[in-house]
Structure 1
């Protein structure tokens, strides 16, 4: 089974579980297991048994609701890749809009004081 087929299988599993970003999540998990960026995934290769086992284990955890960032160790927020893990809130896309509104609100202030 090629990596492409394995990722498609995982995306279908995640999608059935209600994951709206199933393809993206499956690709991020595959990249994590292989130690490469998503853009460098070797879709036409046949991964070894251990790689398949690690990947399917991560997919099962994602299907159980574990945040993607906790499984990959990182999350992107406002273009920055941040380290995340258990016990850490994973930044959400809608939080970027909140940040943008806050930055716009203090844009004209000379020396703003901002606390989170």
Structure 2
């Protein structure tokens, strides 16, 4: 992952409403089958965020690569991009602890360091 991409994602998540949106979408991801996701209206209702404010935050998160969207009829369905979050996590943990990956790393990273 490029540094600029990581900075954009971290900047997007460094705002309370956007972090809440992302966490809501992650929870919805684990509860839904198929393509999953939540309609913008469902997100707004769950978090008590007005439509215009929600639209702004979802746009910022889309630009940062944290969410994807698709149209279903008249609704836009948003979904957390978990592969982006995995990449961001790997980027943050890359070369962590001066090579002592077992202290903080992911399972894959621990295998690589063994």
Above 0.5 in TM-score? no
Query: Considering only CA atoms, is the larger Rg found in Structure 1 or Structure 2?
Result: 1
Q: TM-score by structure 2 length? A: 0.33
- In terms of fraction of residues, the more helix-rich structure is 2
Higher strand share: 2
Larger RCO of the pair (alpha carbons < 8 Å, separation 6+):
2
TM (norm. structure 1) is 0.33
